[in-house]
Amino acid sequence: MSAPSWEKKPILFLLLATATILVGTIVTMVLPFAWVNSEEERIAGITPYAPLELEGRDVYIREGCNNCHTQTVRPLVAEVVRYGDYSRSGEFVYDRPHLWGSRRTGPDLARIGGKYPDAWHFQHMAEPQSIVPRSNMPAYAFLSAQGVDPSGIRRKMEVLGFPFTEEQLDALAGKTEMDALVAYMQKLGRDLPRGEGSTPVAPTELTNPFAGDAAAVAEGALLYTEHCASCHGADQQGGIGPELTDGWDDGDLFSLIYAGVPEGGMPGFSSLGQERVWKIVNYLQSGGR
């Protein structure tokens, strides 16, 4: 069977192949970038990075944080429940380059902004295992000894065309790379309205299924140590978070742990499931100090 006539004409074949590649490039790369930056795809409230946040983003990239953490929430129920609303293209109009990633050695960070207070991030960066005992994340305490360069940050802001004020640059005096990285963490997802997936609503039926169960109290103690002690102290004495006092109703305490206090920097723990949250409640109500 003879080859088509156009395959015998190398110049014509080259032109056709080039045209095919160009069409594919336009469809898969050029148009998506145009859509992301179009007025229709922009999301109200998304703002450019401030000088300290931009420097933190560069530190994040330099230290390879994007090798372990993604910044995109896929439209899957499990991801939306854990991380918040799924990602949309308009969120990334000021990201150069984007840091969506494809591998999660650590959790996704697209919605991390405002989830924890600054003190949590400073401690987590300096000594990750003090917050998450099983974490394999390296320590970044050395960032606290490295100052930022205001003149270099000015050049970055000008090249990217991001707005800034002289007051913002003056405020960089004495700031460290740790300050910058924490500022960047607190920026991620914070410009977005909190959707339904961001703050789970606690169940309306709040009957303690483990009341008086000693085994549940013991398991709750382990869960508290793993998920709560880093902020509230091993003996509930407080630290990053407040001291835990008595006098809570079982249902109120369950709702607080399950849904969290977003405006207070406490995340919800609905991802643990209702049974394990109830076990933490039983441990706390047992006076486990």
CA gap 63, 100 in Å, rounded: 16
Structure tokens at 240: 């990053």
> pTM, whole model, 2 decimals?
0.76
pLDDT at 239: 87
CA gap 174, 179 in Å, rounded: 10
CA gap 108, 227 in Å, rounded: 18
Reported as a single tens digit per residue, the pLDDT across 94-133 is 998 999 988 899 999 999 998 889 999 999 999 999 888 8
Q: What is the DSSP letter of 27?
A: I
- Of 170, 166, 176, 114, the residue nearest 144 (C-alpha): 176
Query: How many beta carbons lie within 10 A of that of residue 74, not counting itself?
Result: 12
pLDDT at 129: 92
CA gap 49, 52 in Å, rounded: 8
pLDDT at 123: 94
Tell me the domains of the chain and their CATH numbers: 51-187 (1.10.760.10), 214-285 (1.10.760.10)
pLDDT at 3: 63
Q: Burial code of 178-203, b = ≥16 C-beta within 10 A, e = fewer?
A: bbbbbbbbbbbbeebeeeebbebebe
pLDDT at 197: 44
Residue ranges, the chain, pLDDT below 50: 196-197
